[in-house]
Structures are given as structure tokens and as C-alpha cells.
A and B are shown apart, each in its own frame.
Chain A
């Protein structure tokens, strides 16, 4: 049997798996025929764990026990701002673990983030196994280019817990460039513009036939599609407050409704020039139920998010400068991530780079495809491409005065190693301690702490007489390794790492043992080896669910855990009609319900209150390929020029 290596894009909102078989790259669809699977894990009362689309569908009944967007938390410290933010808005419980790490608490059980990630990975692995028809043990897993060492380590741990040998941790934009340029014999400089749910990455690469060399990468881990949603939420909430004197943000329940509506409307604006938002019963006041009705146009939305889009270009300026290039040097621009479907982003990107982005790249699948190509190159010896990547963040050591001094600057190619010599400060000193950081600030507390290392076991002598060489190594996964040696004896010092968000080997062992006994609910894929290719995304099959609320079997009213808006093609999926997809206990035949390109307004109990039949203005907009790529207007060019001047 030939060895197989999967490519897995473990995304914040969605994951995707691909493989190279018989020289062909194939994206492997899940049981519903979708190329992408929701990165959602749901824990049922009976101890069964559901992963993927079913878990997302179940979220409405089980919000406190449904874990989504866990990638935003992986490898982070409990005290980090991102975790605090998540705690305020996520419906599931996030608590502190030892060493300042975090755990997710569901039904009185604690799970580390790598364990949650592993559940999604295992789902992707099993999708692949059913499609390929044989077991798979190896994979390349992708991460945002800007991920730090803690986040990479944790992702690798997730792979191990899922029973995978992680061949490589690969940067998402690098994978995208590989999928784009593989086997084409290109000599090009390209930029990969990757705007996901929560993060933005830009990488600049030089492709010379089979060599994919990353020249620079820059990113913003606090900028993504979710921020676009927030702008719409603010608009709706502010207007509501002006009209009714009620701040919807103070009501978690109303806020959830706003979130679902905002994401749905935003996504619809990729395909329509105008979208109607209707949230019936958004809140009750003096016994009267109040609603929101509002139309948003592409132009209005562009103005709302223009500064966010411009922020991505500041990062692009930085990346180009680090690569010593100007936009005119680039031969291609590749778009990755859901939000890059928005026409206003496409036109702003065209404007900034002075060229049309590549249109034959699927922004949802390209990362997994690149990972699959690299996985195949790693398991087979006949390599036809190779990747030379860089470290996205500067590696620093803490020095006196609360400062952090760079040892390896960002955008240095990897693998790399630097050695610094330290000496003892006191007579008979038994150990040396250093703190290692990643980041771009000179102040230590403004960087990410990777760990505090304590080295001991070298000879005891007068101060200044012992010299210790400390090596800082970054491998091709972007993972950092710190070791120390007595310079005179060449003997390796023993190392203790404290303050680290990672799992110890002991933790790992017990986690892997436990993972084997977890009961995971599987959706059978019946056509085994006869791989079904994913449906091509159909822009017309746009269904926006707005204001979906539900009640638990116990009568408790709950908010939906995740924004439920996404593309569904109702006709091709009789087994998963719209209602069962999101509100499983609703009985509604697909042919009774809405079919295509409609805005659907659901009431609290799942009843359909209206469709685009009752909103004819939407039907007038026939979405076409042109709609997707046409620029909405020229109002973006002004501020953009100004920006380029400054940069």
C-alpha cells in the first residue's frame, strides 16, 4: 500500500482536507458533499461528541456545550486580551489551567485546546479515510503565517492527539502559493492576501519553477471577517438605541440575534448589491416586542468597513518593504479566505496592487490543496517542489530593564540557529534563567512570552568563569527550541521550562489515552472509495438565516452559538434540508421551504416569517460572475492613494 499524507487546513470557522492521488489533487468532501466542514465540536448529555456540520446544527440546542472558533484560543495564555474577549462573548466556558494556560469546561469535564483541535482533526481524518477507502496516519497541518511558537506547538499537539504524525506545520499563505504555482513552471513574484475569520496574513513569495521562497510575511491577528460583522452590529445597535433608547448590546440574547443577522447580511453582500435585514422580536420593552428592519447596500457597507480594509494594506506595505519590493514587481495576487469574496475587498485589492487578483483560485480550498501537495512531496522521495519559509516574528530574550533584545529578526529564513554566550553573575551560581519572547516590541511585556528556561548542571566556579552557550533554534515548522551547553566541557545543561502554555509529555500521554475512548458520532459517507468531489460553490444558493432562536427541550430559551449564515444548496441535499440543518426538530419538507437566493426571516420557534418573495427588491439583483468581481465604486481610491504615500 502506498503511503498517504493528507493536507488539512484547520480553520477558525471551517476546515478542509485534501490529498494527492495518482498525481491529482483532490479536495475530499464531507458526508453532505461540502468541501469545508465546520470547526465546531458539540458535547451531548449522553457523553457523545459531535463534530462538524452536525455539531454546528446542534449548537442551537446546546450552546453552552458547543465549542466553536477554538483556533482563536489555541496556544494562548489565560491572561491574553484575546482570551478575555472570547470569554465575554462566547457561550461556552473558558477557564484557567495550570501554568496560565486555558481549558474549556463542558459538562464538568475539562479539555485543553489541543484536545478540541484534535476532535476536528479526527473528523477531517475520518472524512478522508472514508473517501480514500484506507486508513491514513500522516498529515501536513496549516496555521496562519503569523502564529507564534506556542500556537504552532499546540496545533502540532492537536495532530498527535488525533493520531496523526504531523509531517509539517505549514503556513497557510505558503500553502496557497504552492497550490497556485505547483507544476506550472512559473518564474513569478506573488503576494498571498489571506483574510480569514479572525486574522489577516500577507506573504510575498518568489516562485522559481520548483522553488517556493517566502520573502516576507506579515500579519494582524486581530483583523478578520468578524470585525466586519462588528461594524454592522454597531450600526444596527446604534440606530436602535437612537430610535428606542435601548442598548441591545446589554442583552446577550439580542446581541446574538444581531450577530447572526450581521454575518448573514455581510456574506450576502458578496453576491447582492443590497440586502434586507429583518430581526423580528429583537427585544421586548414594556411588554411590547420590538423589531429591526433595515436595508444595507454594498456602498454603505463599503464605507462602514473601509478603514478595516485600509488596515490590511498597511500590513501589505510592511510586507513589501521587508521583501524590498514594490507592488509593480508582483506578477500575481492570490486571495484566500471567506471575506475575500466581498466585491469591495476585491476592488480595493485590485486598486492597491494595481492588478486583478487571480480568479482561478478557490479561497476556501486552496490552503488544503497546497498542504496536500506538500504532504505528498514529504512522503514520496521524488520531490518536485520545495518550500523555503521564514519566521514571522522576531525571537527575543529578556534583558535588564524590562527590555527584550532580538536574537533572530522576523522574516529570517528557517531553519536557523543562533547562539549566545552567557556567564554566571555570582560565585558558585548553580543555574541561569532566561526568558524567551516573540514579537516586535522592545519592551518585554509587549511581546508573547514563549517560556522561562532554567539551565543547570554545569560546573560550579567563581562568577564569570562559567560560560554557557545558549542556542536558539527555529525549525522548518516555525517551532522554537532552546538548549544550553557548558562551553568548556561541551556538556548539555539540563533544562526546566516554566511558564509555558504547552502540554507536558506526561499530559500528552494521558490525553492520547483518553482520546481513544471518546465516543464520536460519525455521519456515514456511503460511497466509500468512490470519492465524491465537492459541489462547486454556487453563488446563487445563498440562504441567509436571520434571527434564528430556539428553545431547549427543557424550555430554557437559548441564543444560537454560531452565526448560522452560510451557503446551502437546498436542491442538491434533500437529506439535509434547511430546517434540519439548523433546527433539527423542525419538520419541514425542503420543497415547502425556500429554495434559492432568498433572505429568510425566522421567528423564535423556527417558523419562516418571510422570504425574498415578500422582498422583491432582492430578486431584482441577479447575481452573476460579474457581480462577484465588479468594483462597487471609486470611493475607495482616494484614501488608498493617501495611504500609499505614507507607507
Chain B
């Protein structure tokens, strides 16, 4: 075991962890909501296409849409009941997108397709991959890239290392932490399935050392598989970013503009591994996930939530607001999305819901850039955020591109550290958008 080694990456920041509020809260299953809203797009890629109609009766786990292409995944009913409508509905990204709205019949009938196959490890890689595809799994760390696509590297890319991402470097979030503690066996089995699909003999699980109990448990359970090692990482944000995690664990540098497979690595999140296990061993689609609810609610919790559950339901279950939130964030405070509607549904990539008060989010006054170089020093991609944002300010998109704007991973470290409180990452994201638009 490599836990004795202290590892990390270059750059990064140390925001207050604030995990203490929920890290000891065991996962609770939240009662079923009256309705779920299942957006047809919860993943990166093409939207899925509805295959049910208004009025259809569905059980939890029944498919309600089919993938819209290779880089796409199907969606499933997460509760049993009636399809009330298929209509544009508010999505965490802030826009309305076509969604299937299902009204619960209160019975929680489970799809007949879900059956246990004790011999799942003898399935072929291809069969496993089909089950994963059919289960609608998209990366559950938040990036929501379709998992079957990630598990299908082109043959010329030799993959030799699979990395399981248990870093959970965002402040407040503890859903992966709890999952690693409470569903350790499933995660390890899911990881073994992923390794089998990719035909890889080396698996590394990276966990930040603020979760010693998870590290211990994962080590204990994986001890009988010599091909799997657990590595403890020094706490630093954004440790869970793919390129940074790969570097911290293997010292391999993914070339700029390239994917991890370039250096023989594939990274999967621990939640995804659990979903993979469910899909392959049970034919169980991705219909629920663990969500940390933290901030100004009466009870901060880790919840097992059906996909499509509206935010309001989570907040009610947690005893309602305590004080008034200034910001409601889906995901972590560094990269999460600010929401404006409590009718927004939990989706496959929702790792947490944070309700932050005025004093917990910093609404701050921006002053002129001091050229202090702090942002430059901590950028994990070794960019010069001040320069790129400066070009963006004057709409010099070509210059922004020459300053490598496209290599930005949007981690937000630069905005976090900036003493002048400049909205660097926001400006850089806009520059990226403009550069992409120009190149079309």
C-alpha cells in the first residue's frame, strides 16, 4: 500500500473544507417525492429521445428515453407512476430543457428487468459495457460524460492504468466519502468490472487524506486484490480534476489539449463505480444517487435521492431553511451551479446541494488587477489567468487563444485566490466560448 507517500499536484488552493457538517452523517434514503422531473439531457453529448408518451404507466427502472447517438445515454423512470407530461422544464444549467415528468403512484414498484446475476464477473467486457450503456450511466463526479464511451478507448490507445477518483476535493461535499464507507464492496466490485472491461491490470484508488476512515475501509476491502492499490493524497483543490489526479497518482502528464488515455489512463469516479456494479450485477439502471445537503438547512444530511427529485423535496426533508440562503448551489462551491428555482431536479451529476448564507458566499467588490501573480502561481494548468482575462476584457479572442485559454479546466482557483476579486474564470469561460464559436 502506498498510503505512506504524500502526493499531490502543482498549483491549487486550500479553501476551508467545511466537510465536518456532513462527513459523519450516514446516508439516509429520502421518502419518495410526489413527482420526478427527468431531463432528457443529463450528460455531455446528444440529448436522449423520449420513448414514452403522456399517460404511460412506468415502474422504477423502466427506460423512458433512448440514447440520441453514441455519445449519449438513455434515461429511466426513477419512481413508479404515470407520465404526466413531456415538456421543457428548468434544468440545473438554468435553461429549460425537455423533461419527462412522472407522478408517483406511491407504490414504488421496481422494473421487472432488475435481477441479480451472481456470476456477473464471467460476463464478457462487451456484455458488461452494454449493460452500463443500457443503465444510462454518465460520470457521477459531476462531469457526466457517458461512461460507456469512456470505457471504449480507440484500440491504438493502450490503457494500462485505471484510476478511481475518491478525492472529493470540493468543500462541503461528503457524498463520495460516505459512499466509500458504506458501499465499499460495491465500489471495489464496480472498479474490478471497469478494469476487466478495459483489460487493465493496474488500478489505483486516490483518496484525499481528510477521509482516513474511507482510506482504511477501501484498503481493507481491496486488500485481496493485489492489482488494486489505495493512495492517500494531500488535501488540495482541484485534486479530483482528471489531469491533476493522474499526475498526483502516476506522475504522468496528460499532454495539453489531450485526454487521459494519451498517457494510458482512464479515470472514473467512485459513484460511477458503484453504479457500474449495480448495472452489471443487477441490471439496475442509474435511478438514484447520493447527494450531500449542506448549508443553511435545519438538518444537514447525506441523502440517497431518486434522479429527478425536485430540490424543494430535499429541503423539506432536511427541515427547511434555517435563515435565508443567498445562494443555492448544485455541486460544490468551487465549480457548482447557482440555481434560482427550487423546482430544479436532482440529476445524475448532482453530488450536493448547498444552501449558503450571505456570510458563507462572498459577494465581493472587484478592484483593478494588481498584477500580483497569485492566480499565475496557483493555476493548476500553469496558465496566466490574469493575462487571459485581460484579453477577454478587450474582446481579443485570438490573443486569449494564444495565451492557452482553451487549456483552462475551469476549476476556479484563480478567482478564488485573486485579492482584487476579479471574476477570472468567468471571463476565461466566456473567452473559451467565443474562441470555440469563432472556430466554427
Co-assembled chains A and B: no
Q: Which residues of B contact A (CB under 8 A)?
A: none
